[in-house]
Amino acid sequence: MSPRRPIQLLDDALIDQIAAGEVIERPASAVKELVENALDARARHIEVALEQGGLDLLEVSDDGEGISRDDLPLAIVAHATSKISTLEDLHAVSSRGFRGEALASMGAVGDLEIVTRAAGSPEAWLLEVGGGKPGVPKPTARAQGTTVRLRHLFRHVPARRKFLKSPRAECLRCEEWLDRLALSVPGVELTLRLDGRVKRQWRAGGMEARIEDVTRASGFRKGEASGSGFEVMAWVAEPACAKVNRNGQFFYYNSRPIRDRMLSQVLLQSTREFIPDRRHAVAVIHISSDPTHADVNVHPTKEEVRFDRPRDVASLVTRAVRSALAGGGYAPELISMPRPQVQEPSPSPNLPRAQRPVAENWNAPGLLGEAHASPAPSRRFMQVHGSFVVVETDEGLSILDQHALHERILLETMRRELLAGGVERQNLLIPQSLQFQPGEAAALQDLGPHLEKAGFAIEVHGSSDVLVSALPVSLSPGSLQGLLRDIVERADGISNPDDIRLLATRLCACRSAVKAGDTLEPGEIEALIRGLSEEDYSFACEHGRPTHVRIPLARLSRGFARH
């Protein structure tokens, strides 16, 4: 070991560089800070230019309010900010920056240059900071706004340089930050130039267009929820756009990008039943409130927030996400068929137009529709292979998965009943007596009271006898034992009674739904078709798989080489 060095005070420049390294870790952190400054200055156009991944040059220009000559030397002093001045301000901060560290840090880790012209000022000023030492402002020319130019990033901090990735990778990180910021300000135009060439442009417009631009997903729908002083807006892309990772998920608090494990978890939970396993919804969530309801000061780069009522925020996010997905007609197309190879299609036999396919299994249109007084128009349908139902629709045909669709309809029905007080139950004249393992029976004893609203009346006797005197109307008594076993197994580790009831209801829907192979009565099929158009979430079963697929007529015609 080398001999211990005597304790020494670090010199100021070194202290600044160490502190600066915490704020400016890599080019992307500088881009983020500078763009946030431009947004705080109410810029409408912001241009970011990078050379060599931002290491040779990193420049951000805006058309915001600018900085006056007198303020300019202050802007680059540590802890100098125009945004807060008292401790009370800190708790009500609505600007993006407020620590007054960013420009000072940049001056310590690179060669900084600011060109600015304040609104209403006749002249522009240039201030250079080399090696942490500011010069004096010099007059120059510029339109209103500010350009901050950072050259030779980390030249004086070789240790930082070592942790950087390739210029390409650093540019990608900058671009990711611009995407995140762009989603908070759809009305602001952003441009990214790499080594002189325009790489990306985020055009000013509405939120929907900006979201599609950033996420490259489509079919966004918006949901809202508010309460406890918070407002939540959720934009969720169609389930088919779901990704294998969470890169398509963006969270904001008062327009500021945030990361929050609790919120990610809530989004996962609330989309789980609409999105297939191991996929993640593409979604943008904006939470807003009076700034006093949250502490944004918990993390140096302000990506974390602490809400005063996190549980309320969580349930608002769930409500907003669910309402965004409600009523979405998301059925995927069954076949994406390549165009036929044949160039000259042979003339198709001329079938009389009015002639309808007459198969014995098709329902007679009209009869059933009137008999059941269904609000949905009567559709021609046919059950095939005991598992699927083919339905004629306006645009072509749909094929329903009878189990998946029925499961969703039952779940939504029971969920509504649950919210209204309790799932509708059937009382057994003679209670059913079931035998369980002692561990299961003990668990059922604990779960019993929570399951009452979910439609069950359960009593445990001795170490393994379970007496069931009521169960949800949709469930057949023969499925009871299996269902209760599933509930015990899956409820392990869940403590919130509402979550337990919802779980029981989900599992019950799955067990109660018609199975593949069950022959359905026409009335049952009609009920399924009705549910398809009436239920808000009829596009997915509770495992997030599609309940039906579409085949548009145009596809059929193409398949038969008709044009």
Q: Which residues contact 8 (CB under 8 A, 6 or more apart)?
A: none
- Which lies closer to Mg ion via its Cβ, residue 82 or residue 269? 82
Q: Counting contacts by CB under 5 A, is residue 64 touching Mg ion?
A: no
Shortest distance, CB of residue 81 to ligand ADP, whole angstroms?
3
Q: Counting contacts by CB under 6 A, is residue 215 touching ligand ADP?
A: no
Dist. CA 141–CA 122, nearest whole Å:
10
Shortest distance, CB of residue 307 to ligand ADP, whole angstroms?
22
CB atoms within 10 A of CB 367: 11
Query: Which of ligand ADP, Mg ion, none has residue 62 at its interface (CB below 5 to 8 Å by kind)?
Result: ligand ADP
Q: Counting contacts by CB under 5 A, is residue 97 touching Mg ion?
A: yes
Beta bridge partners of 151: 57, 111
Q: Counting contacts by CB under 6 A, is residue 61 touching ligand ADP?
A: no
- Which lies closer to ligand ADP via its Cβ, residue 127 or residue 451? 127
Q: How buried is residue 29: exposed, middle or buried, by Cβ count under 10 Å (0-12/13-18/19+)?
A: buried
Q: Which residues contact 34 (CB under 8 A, 6 or more apart)?
A: 48, 58, 60, 102, 148
- Phi-psi domain of 130 (left: phi exceeds 0; alpha: psi -120 through 50; beta: other): beta
Q: Which of 21, 27, 64, 546 binds ligand ADP (CB under 6 A)?
A: 64
Q: What is the DSSP secondary-structure string of 51-86?
A: EGGGTSEEEEEE-S----TTTHHHHTSTT--SS--S
Stretch that binds ligand ADP, among 32-40, 50-58, 384-392, 521-529 (CB under 6 A): 32-40
**Binding-residue pattern over the window 119 to 138 for ligand ADP, x denoting contact by CB under 6 A:** --------------------
Q: Which of 30, 47, 107, 146 binds ligand ADP (CB under 6 A)?
A: 146
Shortest distance, CB of residue 103 to Mg ion, whole angstroms?
7
Query: Which of ligand ADP, Mg ion, none has residue 111 at its interface (CB below 5 to 8 Å by kind)?
Result: none
Query: Which of Mg ion, ligand ADP, none has residue 199 at its interface (CB below 5 to 8 Å by kind)?
Result: none
Dist. CA 440–CA 411, nearest whole Å:
25
The single-letter DSSP state of residue 291 is G
CA of 528: how far to CAs of 109, 177, 391, 524, 534, in Å?
A: 66, 46, 11, 6, 10
Shortest distance, CB of residue 45 to ligand ADP, whole angstroms?
12
Place of tokens 């779901």: 242
CB atoms within 10 A of CB 306: 12
Give residues 72-101 in contact with ligand ADP (rule: CB under 6 A). Answer: 75, 81-83, 97-101
Dist. CA 427–CA 179, nearest whole Å:
57
Query: Which of Mg ion, ligand ADP, none has residue 434 at its interface (CB below 5 to 8 Å by kind)?
Result: none
Q: Counting contacts by CB under 5 A, is residue 37 touching Mg ion?
A: yes
Q: Residue numbers of the site for ligand ADP (CB under 6 A)?
A: 33, 37-38, 41, 62, 64-67, 75, 81-83, 97-104, 146
Query: Which residues contribute to the site for Mg ion (CB under 5 A)?
Result: 37, 97, 102
